[in-house]
Structure 1
């Protein structure tokens, strides 16, 4: 497989960040040289960074870890993304910051990506969305992230993809089997959009002051002979703290299957109306809590932790998530929302073992293959093996 690579060696020592800015030509890295840094990507005039399969859909890029990077301040307003992933499998993005993206773009845009984890990142002031998962994207976890003003749709769980870009090209959904756990959402036109998505679980999240809707259920890729309607998704154990100025809690578009959704054990609190009748959902909710103040610690300082006497202390027992936003163990049954009111002691969030793989951002001046050598005490360690043809 021909692989385009640029390489970052991220080491454990404390160092000043290297800022990678666009000039008259896009930023480029010549292969064969290590860059020892905690990089900041800024002012690009296209996408900030691309990682892709080079258009060879049968041989995806794979096994990539991106850690402690900052992507911000794109110098463009179109459909441009801070981080563009196409045809990437087995990846993790953690402890990164995504800020001030293009008005028409995403913080992270995934097209046909599989088996990934996006966790413990911060997203602020994005355009269309913070994270988009489309084009056949499947088995991706979005866990423990903080989103503030994350765009028109903070999480676009699905989307609209040209047929030639689906990976695999036989996919009958935009997105499937996504897990959205223990995140915090502040603001946004609509924090959650299920768009041509199936079997997506949104559980144990905290939503604060959404602007127009909490949830959108949409279908933008329409072909009944190939694509499943948006459906069989769930919204469970979430706290929704809203005000009176919403258009509605849920916006439903045509060609969807809202009757197949599951709503269960969510806490809904309207700060402006103690007599609020509750959300207008497409199906009846099971064991929902209405107008019970979750007793956030200091939401004005983005502290949405809850005390042991919060009405959100007891939700529905699920197989996941195991850990809350702060990395504390959820009790059994867990609390509702992104924080556990009664954390389980003696549990630690352990890092995953990093595996050999390849790292593919562009633009590049040549082609190389890279292998990942890593210990947990090092942030990332890449090593050049040999040039490709």
Structure 2
């Protein structure tokens, strides 16, 4: 019966690693004593904003978990400037938490500004978070990530964030991340100066998959952006080619409304494929250059393939693609996209900067849905 004794011991160890808290004071006390493998389980109720913790670090196979004790009645971080700010965490998981009614950011995770030592914040999982009504008329983010490596944001709902410069998920100098199966929505009419997901400041190797974006602002996914040089991770090295983002993949998402679904902004290499884009207010995509530093390459090497785009002639500008100055549109490629103008099918063909391979124009979108290969990618 040695196996039974081992099982009993394992259950006891798991229970010992669970710390139940019922209020803000208990939460702070619990976080001061966490160790690899600890689960901090929050009772239902309001935890007023302003929590800040540094160096919350688990280990491989023994993450530190902050989660709802009862996922059906999640705790709420609200009524402060920021809900929760974590600096230099590792092997950390957040699950089934609510962030609402906060003045600046909902959840902020960063590397403490240690841009010269990349990788201090890593292996972070955010799952089933609900974030809403963050900030106001300013640069306020639902989730703000700076200098993270090897992270996942999955099954979250993010609604209504800062309308001037804010993002639902803002990444600065983040690497090897997966953003999957989230619902991100703002209001109608779309606030033009906010973004749903933004990848900038040297961000690389990010996959944005199977998310739903509803009226999410000026740019559904901003692939790149405009970042001050001190905030790049890793730091900018003078005399070497620089880009706001590299190796970004936007795959299998649904975009409803918004000014544009995707914008390539100072990026060097990105793939946008197998997405559904329905009734954008102006464009399917934009190619822009906002950071014009001496070492920054012109926005280049984007691929836009196998997407379904349904639009209206009265809400369509420049043939569906906006080209900014200082970019390299001739390096972009287009293939097998299905374009349909719902009120004037004969006007379905877009104006692209390069010739499209095997594009389809003016055929009803029902024929396109469920095309073979539409989910030919993995997480």
TM more than 0.5: yes
**Partner residue of 1:243 out of 312, 329, 338:** 312
3-12 or 139-148, larger mean C-alpha shift? 3-12
Residue 107 of structure 1 corresponds to 168
2:274 counterpart of 1:213: no
2:125 counterpart of 1:65: yes
Question: Residues 220-250 of structure 1: CA distance to partner in whole angstroms, max 9, x if unpaired?
Answer: 0013x41111011100000000011212300
> Where do 5+ consecutive residues of structure 2 fail to align?
1-52, 58-63
What SS does structure 2 have at the residue aligned with 1:275? helix
Task: Give the number of equivalent residue pairs.
Answer: 303
| Distance in structure 2 (CA, Å) of the matches to 1:13 and 1:226 | 51
Residue 79 of structure 1 corresponds to 139
Aligned-pair distance for 1:321?
3.8
Question: Residues 350-376 of structure 1: CA distance to partner in whole angstroms, max 9, x if unpaired?
Answer: xxxxxxxxxxxxxxxxxxxxxxxxxxx
| Distance in structure 1 (CA, Å) of the matches to 2:93 and 2:277 | 39
| Distance in structure 1 (CA, Å) of the matches to 2:265 and 2:94 | 40
Aligned-pair distance for 1:49?
1.2
Residue 66 of structure 2 corresponds to 9
Larger radius of gyration: 2
> Where do 5+ consecutive residues of structure 1 fail to align?
296-309, 324-348, 350-389
Aligned-pair distance for 1:13?
5.9
| Distance in structure 2 (CA, Å) of the matches to 1:10 and 1:65 | 11
User: With CA pairs under 8 Å and 6+ residues apart, which has the higher RCO, 1 or 2?
Assistant: 1
**Partner residue of 1:195 out of 246, 261, 265:** 265
Alpha carbons 2:126, 2:154 under 8 Å: kept: yes
- TM normalised by structure 2 equals 0.74
Higher-helix-fraction structure = 2
Q: Kindly tell me: are residues 174 and 120 of structure 1, through their superposed partners in 2, closer, same or farther at Cα, counting changes over 3 Å? A: same
Aligned-pair distance for 1:15?
3.1
Residue 195 of structure 2 corresponds to 129
| Distance in structure 1 (CA, Å) of the matches to 2:182 and 2:229 | 31
Aligned-pair distance for 1:312?
5.0
What RMSD over aligned residues (CA atoms) do the two structures have, in Å?
2.7
Q: Kindly tell me: are residues 280 and 72 of structure 1, through their superposed partners in 2, closer, same or farther at Cα, counting changes over 3 Å? A: same
2:311 counterpart of 1:254: no
| Distance in structure 1 (CA, Å) of the matches to 2:105 and 2:370 | 42
Residue 138 of structure 1 corresponds to 204
Higher-strand-fraction structure = 2
| Distance in structure 1 (CA, Å) of the matches to 2:310 and 2:348 | 14
- TM normalised by structure 1 equals 0.72
Question: Residues 303-342 of structure 1: CA distance to partner in whole angstroms, max 9, x if unpaired?
Answer: xxxxxxx245546x69x8436xxxxxxxxxxxxxxxxxxx
